[in-house]
């Protein structure tokens, strides 16, 4: 009889002596397979190495930064941290310069595990007290060799317990700097067990991990449920739409997770007669959109299940068979979710929907999703201000906008602050503004989100130029390319050139007005089309094609909010 795990360390240790397939990598060209026992052995070896590497006077629960693609080393170090009673901070390789250094130092990483491909990101960074391990180096192999015979539980820094810190995963905040959400072993083990039950995961399943492991989606919704259910894990170093089906067939994958535009990228591949000849039975994630979920099911014969549950663990929405199109579901077990007007603190009225499911009373029905019941939120690392804001008045405030229909189903409606979500990455407008403000031709900069035509957001910037300056797309592109801390998701898709910034009565930039008009405004707008390079004017025919894409994906109404 299967028992509910109390810690992630227990899930790692359960693999010991089990020689069924546990980890696959290499893709369709040269698939390699490691048994579950070998995976536990590799984790135990790294746990023992970690214990010996920690300096005197070490922390009771030290933190390890992991800056890796989805290579076997990533789950090995996740397992090592769980066994040793340490925590992993997933470091995002799309961050740059001082922002990347800040992430590593803010989470108090004593060790940073990386690979040669990412070493250029670390050049010139001041990382005092951080020891760097390069996994594909001879030095690393020599360090690890003496611990090949280690067993789970032999080397610990602190005995793993349900309350032990296990993950520090970054989420973006309205004030710019990302916040590191604390995730304990017990909470994540219980979440994994819940997904095993929800999706009937068994030892016959193969979980395809193609989303980045530095993101909570891949670890919490893919890797951990595989461990809890006895399934195999198949790794893809980085997501590839063109390689997706070949990988699925090579691994015999049955389950995968997605975020952001991944589903759209898969749908954009050239259709093949054998698109339905595979083993996949389920995809689980966020932001696919109802239109693309239906197209995916029609083309590939695979059901996509949309979910809502922040890494912080403060609130969850669970889909049920009777969930209507466009809705995410109802409150998860134990949650008391309400849609609250943050100005008044009162509950918003139910949404009124027309026959096509369009919201008719958005100004009244949309509010912030709040959990008034028990919350699994475990706090932010070294950020008491953000933690207090999230849990004010004894409630958990998600920071996300929702509306609720008369039957209690919840619909996502955006975010309450100046955050943007681009290709599954949460970005903060203030960070991008600070970078764009360096451009000598600009006297004022505002960055804000406009809805993507398929899922999530795109970055739009309004620029007021120095007197006598004219916007040069070549100069602006060269400026962006020269900024060391401009992450790969931060470049504006749209640039609006304004005579002067719209301001409120208190002389603050009127962001609501900018967002409302978006790229449909009287000012000149330049854009960088998907797949292209540089900027060109947004012409009437471009605008018409964009609006048609919004309509086709059922997102046209987002442009009116």
pLDDT digits (tens, 9 = 90+) for 302-331: 999 988 887 788 999 988 889 988 789 998
Domain ranges for the chain, please list them. Answer: 13-306, 335-415, 420-560
Q: In this predicted structure, what is the pLDDT of residue 389?
A: 93
> Coil, strand, or helix at residue 15?
coil
Residues 6+ apart with CB under 8 A from 135: 68, 71, 73, 113, 114, 115
Q: In this predicted structure, what is the pLDDT of residue 443?
A: 83
Q: How far apart are CA 155 and CA 163, in angstroms?
A: 19
pLDDT in tens, 6-20: 999 999 999 999 999
pLDDT in tens, 46-91: 999 999 998 766 667 899 999 999 999 999 999 999 999 999 999 9
Q: Is the pLDDT of residue 264 over 90?
A: no
448-453: average pLDDT: 92
Q: Is the pLDDT of residue 215 over 90?
A: no
Return the higher-pLDDT residue of 164 and 420: 164
Q: Are strands 536-537 and 525-527 parallel, antiparallel or unpaired?
A: antiparallel
- Homologous superfamily in CATH for domain 13-306: ANL, N-terminal domain (3.40.50.12780)
Q: Is the pLDDT of residue 1 over 60?
A: no
- Homologous superfamily in CATH for domain 420-560: ANL, C-terminal domain (3.30.300.30)
pLDDT in tens, 456-514: 899 999 998 988 899 999 999 999 999 877 888 889 999 999 998 887 544 467 787 89
> What's the CATH architecture for 335-415?
Roll (2.30)
Quote the pTM value.
0.82
Q: In this predicted structure, what is the pLDDT of residue 505?
A: 41
Q: In this predicted structure, what is the pLDDT of residue 560?
A: 78
Nearest in space to 480 (alpha carbons), one of 539, 448, 436: 436
**Segments of 39-82 assigned E as strands:** 63-67
Q: Token digits for 233?
A: 């894990």
């Amino acid at each position: 009889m299967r028992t509910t795990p109390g810690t992630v360390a227990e899930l790692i240790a359960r693999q010991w002596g089990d020689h069924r397939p546990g980890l696959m990598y290499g893709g369709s060209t040269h698939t390699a397979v490691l048994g579950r026992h070998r995976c536990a052995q590799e984790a135990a070896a790294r746990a023992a190495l970690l214990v010996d590497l920690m300096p005197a006077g070490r922390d009771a629960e030290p933190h390890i930064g992991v800056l890796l693609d989805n290579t076997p080393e990533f789950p090995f170090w996740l397992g090592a941290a769980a066994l040793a009673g340490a925590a992993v901070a997933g470091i995002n390789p799309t961050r740059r310069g001082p922002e990347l250094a800040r992430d590593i130092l803010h989470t108090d990483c004593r060790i940073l595990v990386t690979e040669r491909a990412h070493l250029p990101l670390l050049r010139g960074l001041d990382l005092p007290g951080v020891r760097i391990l390069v996994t594909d180096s001879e030095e690393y192999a020599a360090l690890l060799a003496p611990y090949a015979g280690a067993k789970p539980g032999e080397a610990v820094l602190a005995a793993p317990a349900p309350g032990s810190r296990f993950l520090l995963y970054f989420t973006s905040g309205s004030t710019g700097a990302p916040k590191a959400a604390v995730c304990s072993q017990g909470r994540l083990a219980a979440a994994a067990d819940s997904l095993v039950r929800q999706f009937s995961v068994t030892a016959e399943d193969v979980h395809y991990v193609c989303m980045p492991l530095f993101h909570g989606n891949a670890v919490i919704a893919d890797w951990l449920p595989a461990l809890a259910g006895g399934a195999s894990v198949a790794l893809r170093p980085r997501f590839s739409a063109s390689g997706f089906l070949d990988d699925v067939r090579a691994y015999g994958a049955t389950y995968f997770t997605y975020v952001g535009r991944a589903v759209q990228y898969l749908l954009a591949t050239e259709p093949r007669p054998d698109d339905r000849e595979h083993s996949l039975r389920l995809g689980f994630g966020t932001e696919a959109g109802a239109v693309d979920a239906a197209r995916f099911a029609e083309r590939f014969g695979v059901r996509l299940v949309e979910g809502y549950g922040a890494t912080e663990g403060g609130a969850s929405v669970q889909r049920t068979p009777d969930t209507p199109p466009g809705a995410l579901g109802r409150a998860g077990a134990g949650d008391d979710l309400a849609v609250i007007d943050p100005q008044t603190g009162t509950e918003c009225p139910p949404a009124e929907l027309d026959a096509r499911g369009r919201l008719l009373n958005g100004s009244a029905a949309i509010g912030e999703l709040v959990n008034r019941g028990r919350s699994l939120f475990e706090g932010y690392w070294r950020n008491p201000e953000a933690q207090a804001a999230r849990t004010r008045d004894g409630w958990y405030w998600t920071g996300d906008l929702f509306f609720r229909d008369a039957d209690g189903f919840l619909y996502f409606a955006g975010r309450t602050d100046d955050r943007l979500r681009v290709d599954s990455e949460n970005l903060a407008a203030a960070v991008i503004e600070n970078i764009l403000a360096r451009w000598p031709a600009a006297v004022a900069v505002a960055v804000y989100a406009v809805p993507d035509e398929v899922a999530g957001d795109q970055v739009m910037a309004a620029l007021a130029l120095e007197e006598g300056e004219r916007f040069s797309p070549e100069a602006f592109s060269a400026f962006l390319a020269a900024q060391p801390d401009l992450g790969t998701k931060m470049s504006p898709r749209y640039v609006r050139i304004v005579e002067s910034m719209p301001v409120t009565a208190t002389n603050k930039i009127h962001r609501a007005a900018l967002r409302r008009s978006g790229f449909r405004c009287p000012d000149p707008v330049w854009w960088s089309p998907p797949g292209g390079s540089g900027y060109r004017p947004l012409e009437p025919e471009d605008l018409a094609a964009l609006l048609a894409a919004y309509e086709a994906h059922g997102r046209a109404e987002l442009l009116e909010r």
